[in-house]
Structure 1
Amino acid sequence: MSRLTIRLFGTPSFAFDGAPWRLSALPRCLPLLAYLVLRREPVPRAAVAAALWPDELESDARSNLRRHLHLLKRGLPPPADAPWLLDARNRVGWNWDAPASVDVADFIDRVARAETRADAVALYDGDLLDGYEDEWLVVERERLRTTYLDALLELAALRRRERDFAGAAAFAERLLAHDDLREDAMRELVAARYEGGDRSGALATYERFAARLRFDLHVEPMAETVALHDAVVAGLALHDDAPLPDEHAPAAEREKSPFVGRRSELDALQRAWTRAARRFGGTVILAGEAGIGKSRLCAELAALADRQGGRVLIGATTDPEAGPYQALVAAAQQGLPALPRDGLDDLWSSALLSILPEIRAVRPLLGEPPALDDDRARTRLHEALARFFDALARVRPLVLVLEDLHWAHRDTVDAVEALARRASGSALLIVVTYRSEEAGPAHPLRGLARTLQAERRATRVALVPLGGDEIAELVAQTASSNAPDALAPTVARVSEGNPLFAWQLLRGFAETGVLPNGAVHGVVDAIMARVERLPSEVRAVADAAATVGRDFTLELAAAAAGTNESAMSAALDDLIDRHLVRESDAHAWSYTFTHALIASTIYAHTPAERRPARHRRIARVLSEASVADAAALGTLARHWEAAQDAARASAAYQRAAEAAAAVYARAETIDYARRAASLTQDDAARFAALQLAVRAQERGGDPDALRADVEALRACAERLGDGERFAALQSRVAYEARVGAFDATTPLIEAMFGLAERGARSERRAVAFEARGYIAAVRGLLDDAAGPLREALREAERAGLTAEASRIAQRFIQIAIRKGDIAAATEELERRRHVTDASDLQERMHILTAEMTCAFVFEDVDAQRVAGEHLLAVAERIGDVAAEAKARAALAYAAHRNGDVAAMRAHYDRATELLERLGDAHPLVVTILNRGALELETGRVDNALAFWDRAQPIAERIGAHDGVATLLINRAEALLLAGRAGAALPVARDALAQIETTGERRLIADALVVLGAAEAAAGERSGAERIRDGIARARAVGGGTSLANDLCVLVETLLATGATDEAAAAAEELEVCRASGAARLPGRAEAALGRAAAARGDDAAAERWFAESRRLVAARVARFEPADAAAYGDFPFVRALRGERAAAVSGGRGGGGPR
């Protein structure tokens, strides 16, 4: 039995014979003890001395060891039969035969065995000797911590397998308490809660975690994490691969197959259409398995909308997507002839040129759009598409059907999301269809659906198989009157309610008169049964056409078949008669299979040995006919690849990648570029392709995939020249910075300088210096960043790199502002004004943004207004929506400071609208929060509360914890100002609890002050002391503009509690603070000073302060509308000035302006 118990995890403690034991020894004895118990055998004295005193001479270290061993022995309880320590001449160690228990040793023993692992983690009360920073100890501490966390994860998984879901959740929660960004632990927690019957809790856990990732790291959860979430949402058994429902019905079957069932689904679409026709547009996401009837349902909606005066545009996606934004471009091409002449101005029309060159037909004088960086140009393109469809919808309500988006790249999905955000105020209904089984849980479409549904911008309609009665109705409308009675139940049983399957079975029965049988196991079998009955010459044409794709022209089908067009006409007529093919509306002599599944099924059953020759003939026609424009380059490349011509395929993929990059389609750029790199044998071509793929991933993507591309780029560059090696190093630096491996960038940047010096190339030195400055800046080393950026700017200007010099200058100005070096920032700004071409609007916009920031720092409201007005003009001229929102927010604040409440509200309304369209949640929260704060300073308490109500769920969704806390602080302030102290107190308490979890010191100070005010108003004596604590904390972090408000609260609280002397002392501080910066509610500080003077009997001073307060209030409301002036006049301190309240009033902190 152990007599001595030693705890080294967490707070060290000792017990002997069951009673606490105080170790009376020097602090260094604890690391010595830990070192010995972590080793099973005695250790050479020299090793112990070197580990614990590494910086001492060997003789001094040995002396220290002897002294501390002596003190440790003396500090431990007296040993009984065996000593605690084994101390031979040359070795020292812990005596494991002694009656002692050491938690660290027990943990190591037990964690290694599955049956005792739970006991092991129970021993871990905290990190090993936390606070001691010996090098060896840090390593051991991290090793044990990692072992502990891994054990928790294993235990959570084990408990789930044993169906102990509560136990699994407990272990996962313990892990997350130590490392709150561990996705594997979060997945175990979500799974445990879900399988334990708490589905809502599981989903809430996921949403909080995902919001935290977005806010803290600006990344989305991993694909497997998203997949788990989707399985929970769908109610699936975890790790079950059962497919989800999905849809796809034909385009030609719309006209031929009867419409049966789907009453509730059609009603849902009709309700959405009716709302859209009244300018309450939205999005419907239609999902279901292949052949379930999505397209047929859309055809019914289209007919309804057409009957009611609407316009319908349909864009489909092929497999694979033929080009960037395929479905949107196809729909836009259909709608282009109906575009009103004045419906879309030249800026937005020109922004569409890259994907819709046909717009020149209606805008022949269009020039190129003003230059923007890729991110902003991409946003502008999305905005242009939204404005295009909105222009059509302003003429006639519009239904935009986008089919088969499960085949679309993320770029298309992102554009659809941008369009959906704009639809809410337009006469536009967007209907998106996709096959559920083709869009896995981590597909971008799933994210689109979640986001839009969470924001109440979309509804999802899932189609299920038809019932037996509905199949019987389909048979009754389709089959001849003499069809056997067994036909309907047979079709229902074999098709399992899939309309396309049932339709193919009915077509097969019409062609053969034979009832379907058990040999037909699915819709593919049903299709092939019909195809195999085709005459040989018709089958050959079907095979050739399917090789082209679902959509084909007579010319391409003839090329694939190796025959002339006239020979194909009769066969095509036969296919049309059999409802396998229909004529397309795209252009003359174009056709489409009536369902994508028909085309893919026929192609899959063509002889593999014949395919390369067919694809080669198709590729040659596409190339020779000069139809391989930007949208068709991907298709051309795929045909060359299927033709087994790697060289031509690689070249075509490279051109497709470049074309995709030109329209900001990043996902397609990456896919095409990687295919180009994989197929070429030429190093220079491979390097160009890989470089394009890497650049497309600069703004996001899978870090592991990017690393592979960067490494491949480096390996390729080694076989080329200095230029390629320099570019590869630049990409590697960007990658390492992105993943936070900043130390790894140092040798890379030095290598860049080496290559730059070897060629004496200013442009390379500019890049290297900029990289050095950028890395220093992102590490927070602002002083180390400024010098390299100055050098980078000098080298860029020497090399004549105008655009690069502009970018570097903007970065330098931002660093100077962050450092507080306003002189350097303004000096560089002035220099940029002189060297910038007046026609360079993008550079002008950068300068104005910096000017606006400087003006805000200087609190120069007029300068801020002027810069904001100029920035707004430039942003509107070049179509930069984000810059327009920024300008509007700045102008709103300037208008507020100048007392122009109407202008403040107009600018904020517009900024909010723009940010909602962009889907940029964090700036949106800040904007709405600030709008509420300024409404409060205008006196409109209820308006402020309404805005914060609107912002809080967004802040919670994205995990903006400081934003939530600020909203709660402001809400409590507003309630206090409205005289609702009882409602303010729980809100203030919640605010403090929220912000204490983040450790944001400035906000903790704010929360303490507002809570103290609420407590004092509720009669709690601790209120004043809490306010003082908040003020002290605020001073510790720099005070800030709210200090005058804080002191107002303190003075008012002390006066209300009768603490006149203390109030007088606080009033003296307030008077000093007021001289350097007035409170945000003009007149409030002066009213508090007047009351303090009156309380101490100085009536003359009191009257002076009251008169000044009245003057400031009058000046404040002079430009207000009557309702706003009345609201401001209803503040307690203003009412008291009018003599309506003689007694002291308790006034919570005023709105301190935007926090």
Structure 2
Amino acid sequence: MSTSARGRGGASRSLLAIRLFGGAQFSFDARPWRFAAPPRTIPLLAYLVLHRGKALPRDVVAFALWPDDDEATARANLRRHLHYLRAALPLIDGQSPWLTIGGRSTLAWSPGARCTIDVVEFERLSARDSSLEAADALYAGDLLPDVSDDWILGERERLRAAALTNLTKLIQAARLDGKLPAALRFAERLLTLDPWREDAVRHAMELRYALGDRAAAIAEFEDFAARLRRDLAAEPMPETRACYESLVRDAPVLQPGRGVETSTEKAERQPILPFVGRDSELAQLHVWWTKAAHGNGSLGLLGAEAGIGKTRLLSEFKRLVESEGGRVLVGATSSLESVPYQAILQAVQGAAAIVSGLRVDRVWVAVFADLIPELRSHYPGLPPAPGSGDVRTRLFEAFFQILSALAAQRPTLLIVEDLHWAGEATIDLLENLSRRLGSTRLLVVGSYRDEEVDRAHPLRRLRKRSGPNRPVSRLALGPIQRDDVRQMLAKMPRSRAVRPDWSEQLYNRSEGNPLFLTQLLAAALEAGTAEPFHETLPGGIRELIRARLAHLSPDAHSLALLAAVVGDAFDGDLLQDLAAWDAPRIDGAVHELLDRRVIRDTGLGESGDYTFAHHLIEATAYAEAAARDLSRRHERVARALVELYPARQDELSYRIARHFQRGANPHEAAGFYARAARFALARFAYDDAAARATAGLNLADSDEQKQTLLLVREEAHARRGDSTSRESDLEALSALVASEDVQTRGEIMRRRINLFHTADRRDKESASIEELVALAECSGSASAEIEGHYARARLLMLASRGADAVTECERALQRASAAEDVGAQIRCHCLLADIYDRSAEFPNAQSALAKAEALSRSAADPAAQLAVILMACRLANWQNRYDELHQHAERMREIATACGDRGHEGIANNALGVVALYRFEIAEARRYFERAIEVFESVDRPRNVIAARLNQTLLLTRLGCLDDAIAVADAGKRMAQAAGAALFGEAVDCLAAEAYLRRGSIEEARAIATDALERSSVSGSRNKAIASMKLVRCDAMQGDFQRALARLDETLPLLGVPGLEIQRCDALGDRAWIATQLGNAALALASMREFLPVVQSEPLRFGEPEAVFWVASRACGAAGLQEEAGAHIATAWGIYQSRFPRIPEEAVRERYARLWFHRDLEAAYAQGAVAARP
């Protein structure tokens, strides 16, 4: 509040003006006033003014100004300087009205003093955006720069910060209004106050460039960079360098929405309405931002109907974030998302130079550079992106790594607008990001129109993830209210001649829709009357827009209709080519459309210089254009896009196809739809690819076109995992392809084999294999022969016909060697290793694997190397060779990390966790499993997550954390059911049954194990033997040893297959223990003699070797072999005791000790004898 006091007339209206900015100055009655007082009087005056509005205790004032003096001296100084102050200030009517003295205890600056104080006025003017320029004019410099008192330093910095904030707001507002000279003046002023403000440097660079002085813009950076290096030994921020590099390349630097002011002779621009009525929504957005800035990022969705103000709200939010030091990236989806991930790529593209300064692995940059090629100019020698493996997962990981690295450097807001036009690929990417933002400083906010999101829209799936404690938040935006309209008009500039009494009519007519309000107000101002408020317009806002378009000049009107036919983004060259006008005529029409805010400057350069200011304006213009020769115009646009942009045909293929389709040229449209589908497929946008191929098929007029489109669509379906659609497409292809086209027929057969193998349809797979082999024999095709024999070998292996499988695989290998097909040779050797391992021919398996590994190393193909190492890990795990497993897993992790294969990285961590589990390295096992789950969840691999959860359950069970184990198992079972992973569900149940057994919940264990046994009996999996063993233990724990023994005798044969050796030893241990309970010492000892050599040779292959040795001691004790029993007890005790220090938490060590066999072991060891278990 100002302390200015303006009297009611008369000679006593004398006014004192006090200026404290830049140094103390005084005037009285508009003439300079000499302030004659000692130097310390000025700080006293400033203290009273800055603490105006309240009575100040004298002690407080005295100690603030004379902190080093004792109390008496300070108070004396205060009394003396108060006298000096009253004497130095002028008298009015013989009085000194400036101070209010409250006896001997308080004093204050008089609230009724007739004076103006620049600091007070500055703070009052700074409170309103409309008076910021006047506030800046008052800031003549820092507050009393010659005064160094402690109390004034904080006030000086506060006011200085306010001055800088004012200038920042003025720059942004001037740029938004297109007043670039004024914006540059404010930027220069900001740099005068703070020459190290890099945001101001960037503003100055961009504005000089936009005003046509590119050389001055470049010099601005070079001068700043030189000063920075000279004075601070520092380099400019990545954002500043990125801006500089854009200038050097002569690329656009203005952000979208910041149009260039054209000419003062042009008609006044349509007003931008003051921002009102969105306080609560802006506050909610700010809550999201605050959380993100503190490391708890998220995805927010902003939904509303068209014209309700989503873009304006996000624009204000952007300004707020930037004012708080955040980085903001903005992108939008066009009405034809011709490029997958368009909005996100557009947002990141402007930060390409910033990315070069990030701490991010080059493999992710290489992947990203396939989408944004200019990145390679910032990374000399950047290798090509890995081209094999799970490429879509790798791409999504690259997005996350780049964006999270940007946010790690500086909290970042990513705005992606118009998601209702986004394809499946963009939504999949956002969904992937949403699961991982919680540990980043990145906030992603996407906007969409409610009415455009139908039930089939992929955005519906993303919205379902919203809610409390979920990764997606939602914010709905409604119309503004009646009071908001009144407030809006009150804030309008006086030059607009807006009448306050319009508010009621405006609200009633628009119902609070901001776009409708804008159009109504613009129409009224253009007409100079409120008549538009009263007109009956049956078409609502569209009719109002049409009326405004009709008021354009003939050239501007024609160009608007032509631009609407072109679509969402267009540039001057394209419009000039289509209109066949000269450049001055085009420029004049474009400038008029800009001035009337029909279109806006995007600042996107290559992607299109201009777009319509709102989609409803485009739709209205297009509807009017439709009444004319629309078909011819669309075909002309298509041909212009082909001729003008030959290097961008892939990127523009979808738009070109749509124009040819609307131009009644189906043949050309189908060809470009095929190209668009391949482009989407190359960017891993599988749903988009399928949709574009389908659109082409609906138009294709030749078998050749249909064949091309079906092949692309089938591949898209394959990558989506849509077996039904794949089979349908392959059948259609088979009917189309000529018999002499051996190559295409072979490709179709290979795809059919892959389809039926994945779907476990062995009869169909076998028939397709035989067709391919027959084709190979007739045609002599090497690739068909290799694939045919390889597929036949794989099918024979699954049928447990190992010898026949080896023969077929060796045929495939021989042909692959003759054809020098290294990739096929590697696959054949891996398959041989698998066949031999399943047949327990381990030396042959190792030999085949060694050959595959040698070939993969020579090929230098990371994907091939990972495939070989994965097989090596499987063999080592099946055979419980944990040292080998550790070696292979470390190598896998190294290669996977280097090539960005997150799936194999997760598998490697899971395998390392298994090794740590069997080595009883508890902390390491936990870390590896948690890391594996984190990776698998980030790449959406639910089956792998379940596998890691299984291992976590096993770890918790062995530690005695049984409630936790059961909870993890329950979560794993739900995931298995959701993923349709029956075998995983059986395995989870087996582990859960063991946890219930150890907890003493026998009936729960029995129910779960029985269910698992029934299901595994149908599936024929190895889980049948495991589930049966759990039922054996249920019987034994309930004392039914005879039944347990009988069930065990039925189970042991099931455990005689390769890969279940450890489980067989566990079953023999159970039989030995049960036999001791039945008094059958001979059976107990025989069982022990069978399993003990295996345990003694490699005890760490067993998860709980102490339990096995404890059972051995029981068997020996029952047979009277006390010395041997004692030795086994000692071994068991030594293992048990060695494991305690490896359990980090005391509470967990207590649970581990409470496991029943550990209690029995402790009792037996304490007694020095083998005690029988009651």
- What is the TM-score when the length of structure 2 is the normalising length? 0.68
Shift of residue 321, structure 1, vs aligned partner: 0.7
Which residue is equivalent to 1:1087? 1110
Which residue of 287, 296, 316 maps to 2:332?
316
SS at match of 2:570: strand
**Alignment partners' CA distance in 2, 1:688 and 1:958:** 33
**Alignment partners' CA distance in 2, 1:668 and 1:353:** 21
Shift of residue 318, structure 1, vs aligned partner: 1.2
Shift of residue 276, structure 1, vs aligned partner: 1.3
Shift of residue 472, structure 1, vs aligned partner: 5.7
Shift of residue 1083, structure 1, vs aligned partner: 1.7
- CA 1:763 to 1:1105, structure 2 compared with 1: closer, same or farther past 3 Å? closer
* Counterpart contact for 1:509–1:516, Cα < 8 Å: no
Which residue is equivalent to 1:367? 383
Shift of residue 383, structure 1, vs aligned partner: 0.9
Shift of residue 742, structure 1, vs aligned partner: 5.1
SS at match of 1:312: strand
Give a deviation string over 1:929-965, Cα, whole Å, max 9, x none: 2023124435666765675576465445445566566
* Counterpart contact for 1:402–1:431, Cα < 8 Å: yes
* Counterpart contact for 2:766–2:795, Cα < 8 Å: no
**Alignment partners' CA distance in 2, 1:878 and 1:941:** 39
Amino acid at match of 2:1130: A
* Counterpart contact for 1:556–1:618, Cα < 8 Å: no
- CA 1:1144 to 1:961, structure 2 compared with 1: closer, same or farther past 3 Å? farther
Q: How does 1:234-383 map to 2 (within 5 A)?
A: 256-373=272-389, 376-383=390-397
Give a deviation string over 1:793-835, Cα, whole Å, max 9, x none: 3323322333344344444544554555545533322332444
- CA 1:1085 to 1:729, structure 2 compared with 1: closer, same or farther past 3 Å? closer
Q: How does 1:825-844 map to 2 (within 5 A)?
A: 825-836=845-856, 837-844=858-865
Give a deviation string over 1:87-118, Cα, whole Å, max 9, x none: xxxxxxxxxxxxxxxxxxxxxxxxxxxxxxxx
Which residue of 1012, 1024, 1027 maps to 1:995?
1012
**Alignment partners' CA distance in 2, 1:813 and 1:288:** 58
* Counterpart contact for 1:254–1:295, Cα < 8 Å: no
SS at match of 1:534: coil
Which residue of 690, 699, 708 maps to 1:688?
708
Amino acid at match of 2:306: A
**Alignment partners' CA distance in 1, 2:445 and 2:984:** 35
**Alignment partners' CA distance in 1, 2:957 and 2:340:** 47
Which residue is equivalent to 1:796? 816
Amino acid at match of 2:372: L
Which residue is equivalent to 2:617? 598
Which residue of 906, 916, 920 maps to 1:895?
916
Which residue of 546, 549, 558 maps to 2:576?
558
Structure 2: runs of 5 or more not aligned: 1-255, 260-268
Shift of residue 619, structure 1, vs aligned partner: 3.5
Which residue of 849, 873, 892 maps to 1:871?
892
Which residue is equivalent to 2:262? none
SS at match of 2:1015: coil
Which residue is equivalent to 1:757? 777
Which has the higher Rg, Structure 1 or Structure 2? Answer: 2
**Alignment partners' CA distance in 2, 1:460 and 1:782:** 57
1:570 lines up with 2:566 in the alignment: no
**Alignment partners' CA distance in 2, 1:1126 and 1:903:** 20
- CA 1:1084 to 1:352, structure 2 compared with 1: closer, same or farther past 3 Å? same
**Alignment partners' CA distance in 2, 1:702 and 1:1141:** 63
**Alignment partners' CA distance in 2, 1:948 and 1:668:** 37
1:393 lines up with 2:407 in the alignment: yes
1:438 lines up with 2:452 in the alignment: yes
- CA 1:533 to 1:739, structure 2 compared with 1: closer, same or farther past 3 Å? farther
1:670 lines up with 2:686 in the alignment: no
Shift of residue 883, structure 1, vs aligned partner: 1.0
Shift of residue 1094, structure 1, vs aligned partner: 5.7
Shift of residue 638, structure 1, vs aligned partner: 3.1
**Alignment partners' CA distance in 1, 2:1092 and 2:829:** 38
How many equivalent residue pairs?
888
**Alignment partners' CA distance in 2, 1:379 and 1:560:** 42
1:912 lines up with 2:928 in the alignment: no
Shift of residue 915, structure 1, vs aligned partner: 0.8
Q: How does 1:737-748 map to 2 (within 5 A)?
A: 743-744=763-764
Shift of residue 386, structure 1, vs aligned partner: 0.9
* Counterpart contact for 1:1050–1:1063, Cα < 8 Å: no
Q: How does 1:524-673 map to 2 (within 5 A)?
A: 524-587=542-605, 590-606=609-625, 607-613=627-633, 615-617=635-637, 619-628=639-648, 630-646=650-666, 648-673=668-693
Shift of residue 333, structure 1, vs aligned partner: 0.1
- CA 1:713 to 1:1010, structure 2 compared with 1: closer, same or farther past 3 Å? closer
Which residue is equivalent to 1:126? none
Shift of residue 587, structure 1, vs aligned partner: 3.3
Which residue of 1134, 1144, 1158 maps to 1:1111?
1134
Shift of residue 303, structure 1, vs aligned partner: 2.4
**Alignment partners' CA distance in 2, 1:535 and 1:807:** 70
Give me the CA root mean square deviation: 4.1
Amino acid at match of 2:716: A
- CA 1:250 to 1:293, structure 2 compared with 1: closer, same or farther past 3 Å? farther
Q: How does 1:1134-1149 map to 2 (within 5 A)?
A: 1134-1139=1158-1163
* Counterpart contact for 2:893–2:904, Cα < 8 Å: yes
* Counterpart contact for 1:491–1:516, Cα < 8 Å: no
Amino acid at match of 1:799: A
Amino acid at match of 1:418: N
Shift of residue 394, structure 1, vs aligned partner: 0.8
* Counterpart contact for 1:1034–1:1043, Cα < 8 Å: no
Shift of residue 1003, structure 1, vs aligned partner: 5.3
* Counterpart contact for 2:714–2:725, Cα < 8 Å: no
**Alignment partners' CA distance in 2, 1:962 and 1:711:** 31
Shift of residue 841, structure 1, vs aligned partner: 2.6
Shift of residue 690, structure 1, vs aligned partner: 3.1
Shift of residue 396, structure 1, vs aligned partner: 0.7
Which residue is equivalent to 1:700? 720
Shift of residue 542, structure 1, vs aligned partner: 0.9
**Alignment partners' CA distance in 2, 1:738 and 1:1091:** 49
**Alignment partners' CA distance in 2, 1:295 and 1:745:** 54
Which residue is equivalent to 1:208? none
**Alignment partners' CA distance in 2, 1:755 and 1:793:** 18
* Counterpart contact for 2:1113–2:1170, Cα < 8 Å: no
SS at match of 1:628: helix
- What is the TM-score when the length of structure 1 is the normalising length? 0.69
1:727 lines up with 2:747 in the alignment: yes
SS at match of 1:424: helix
Amino acid at match of 1:438: E
Deviates most, 440-449 or 521-530: 521-530
Q: How does 1:1045-1056 map to 2 (within 5 A)?
A: none
Which residue of 709, 734, 739 maps to 1:714?
734
Amino acid at match of 2:379: R
- CA 1:261 to 1:1043, structure 2 compared with 1: closer, same or farther past 3 Å? farther
Give a deviation string over 1:145-172, Cα, whole Å, max 9, x none: xxxxxxxxxxxxxxxxxxxxxxxxxxxx
Q: Which has the higher contact order (CA 8 A, sep 6+)?
A: 1
- CA 1:638 to 1:1117, structure 2 compared with 1: closer, same or farther past 3 Å? same
Shift of residue 729, structure 1, vs aligned partner: 4.2
- CA 1:840 to 1:719, structure 2 compared with 1: closer, same or farther past 3 Å? closer
* Counterpart contact for 2:328–2:413, Cα < 8 Å: yes
- CA 1:516 to 1:478, structure 2 compared with 1: closer, same or farther past 3 Å? farther
SS at match of 1:290: coil
Give a deviation string over 1:42-87, Cα, whole Å, max 9, x none: xxxxxxxxxxxxxxxxxxxxxxxxxxxxxxxxxxxxxxxxxxxxxx
**Alignment partners' CA distance in 1, 2:966 and 2:755:** 44
Shift of residue 671, structure 1, vs aligned partner: 3.8
**Alignment partners' CA distance in 1, 2:1033 and 2:722:** 49
Which residue is equivalent to 1:1153? none
